[in-house]
Structure 1
Amino acid sequence: MTTKPYHHGNLRDSLLDAADALLAQDGAQALTLREVAKAAGVSHAAPYHHFASREQLLAAVAARAFAALATAMAAADGDRARDQGVRLMDICEVYVEFARARPAQFRLMFGPMLAQKAHYPDLKQAAESAFHVLVVAATAFDAARGPELALTGWSLAHGLANLAIDEAFTDLPIAVPAPAVLARAMAARMLGLQGGVDQ
């Protein structure tokens, strides 16, 4: 296979782009340094300039996904003039939709590697930054209960996201709204606001 030239400084991003594509197509088991190099069109040795092991590559992919999630949630949280409850509902919806759009990334982000994040500083920082977006929004809604609401809302959105990407709502004997609608409704219920699915 003929390798493609790359510009200094772009190799890492090219490898992560290739890793993201492989992850979406074939799952985490496809993410080996050799396969990522092949997909990126570089030599088999090239990834070792940035990743000493497969685990470091996986951690970098997960960190980049957490950064993307944080950006998406921050965009939903961006208009601080809006009602604080609506902001939290928006964040919940964004979280669920992120998982549905990137299920393989989502599973990698919250897979076994997350428990080892102390060994991967970039992953630790990215995961904590994403959670910080939620804590700030929850604390703006209720200063005293912000951390509790953040944990509750995260657990709610995360469970709903997993059920949605596993298609657990398919063929239930009750009417189930679209995941984005259900996410907002459940967040509203948690916050004691109007907007439940039966409203």
Structure 2
Amino acid sequence: MTSERADRTYHHGDLRRAVLAAAEEVIRAEGPQALSLRDLARRAGVSHAAPAHHFKDRTGLLTAFAAEGWSLFADALQAAPDLRERGVAYVRFAREHPAHFQVMFQPALLRTDDPALRSAIATAGEALRAGVAGVPGADAPHPRLAGVAAWSLAHGFASLLLSENLDDALEGRAPEDAFREVAAMLFAPSEPAGG
């Protein structure tokens, strides 16, 4: 291979970003099981071996993709002012980043000991826990369960939304508005007994 051809083949600009973007397209359309480094290289216009320089293998690519997702997710959660709006941010993130959402919660696909992944997950976890602090019930004997309740509601709603199981129930409402209504129904202040 000539030097000029090698330069055209391997010098891509931001190959890492291009491969992650191509991975997002494939995952959105066909799911993570459809990913192959060879196909992503073709889509990015580079040699079939080039992505391996950044990701080593398919698991490395999915791990980097999940770490990117967790970082974006943490940013979205941190921007929300309270627990309900963090739930809204959770739903919005799933709707706007369905490929990331799909991969982030499948540890069997990932190198769960990867430092970048662990750091991004920890940052997102802190944002979730901060949203629960100060909420009635969060200081109960099992404060972590209050966090699990909030997480379950947002994650369940987002998962049902992405699988199109809420289409009829939304009745034309924006998913974020519907989530606010659901959260208000379930977490409304309780009435005093007998009154």
- Counting only pairs closer than 5 Å after superposition, residues 180-199 of structure 1 correspond to structure 2 as 180-193=176-189
TM-score, scaled to structure 1: 0.77
**Quick check: 141-150 or 52-61, which moved more?**
141-150
Output the CA distance in 1 between the equivalents of 2:98 and 2:112: 24
**Higher alpha-carbon Rg:** 2
Report the secondary structure of 2:139's partner residue.
coil
* C-alpha deviation, 1:22, in angstroms: 2.3
2:60 to 52, 56, 71: 56
1:40-80 residue CA offsets vs partner (Å, 9 max, x unmatched): 22111111112121111111111111111111111123xxx
Q: Identical aligned pairs, as a percentage?
A: 38
Alignment size in residue pairs? 181
TM-score, scaled to structure 2: 0.79
- Unaligned 5+ segments in structure 1 are 78-86, 195-199
Q: Give the AA of the match of 1:180.
A: E
* C-alpha deviation, 1:135, in angstroms: 0.2
Output the CA distance in 1 between the equivalents of 2:162 and 2:183: 19
Give the equivalent residue in structure 2 for 1:197. none
Inter-CA distance 193–3: structure 2 relative to 1 (3 Å threshold): farther
Give the equivalent residue in structure 2 for 1:97. 92
* Contact 1:18–1:36 (CA under 8 A) maintained in structure 2: yes
RMSD: 2.7
1:141 to 124, 135, 143: 135
Output the CA distance in 1 between the equivalents of 2:111 and 2:182: 30
Report the secondary structure of 1:50's partner residue.
helix
**Quick check: 25-34 or 127-136, which moved more?**
25-34
Inter-CA distance 169–106: structure 2 relative to 1 (3 Å threshold): same
Q: Give the AA of the match of 2:26.
A: L
Give the equivalent residue in structure 1 for 2:12. 6
Output the CA distance in 2 between the equivalents of 1:117 and 1:157: 25
1:111-142 residue CA offsets vs partner (Å, 9 max, x unmatched): 2437x653323222222221210101211435
Output the CA distance in 2 between the equivalents of 1:31 and 1:137: 35
* Contact 1:59–1:120 (CA under 8 A) maintained in structure 2: yes
Give the equivalent residue in structure 2 for 1:109. 104
* Contact 1:88–1:187 (CA under 8 A) maintained in structure 2: no
Output the CA distance in 1 between the equivalents of 2:171 and 2:42: 46
* C-alpha deviation, 1:161, in angstroms: 0.8
* Contact 1:63–1:122 (CA under 8 A) maintained in structure 2: yes
Q: Give the AA of the match of 1:153.
A: A
Q: Give the AA of the match of 2:151.
A: W
Output the CA distance in 2 between the equivalents of 1:192 and 1:117: 40
* Contact 1:88–1:138 (CA under 8 A) maintained in structure 2: yes
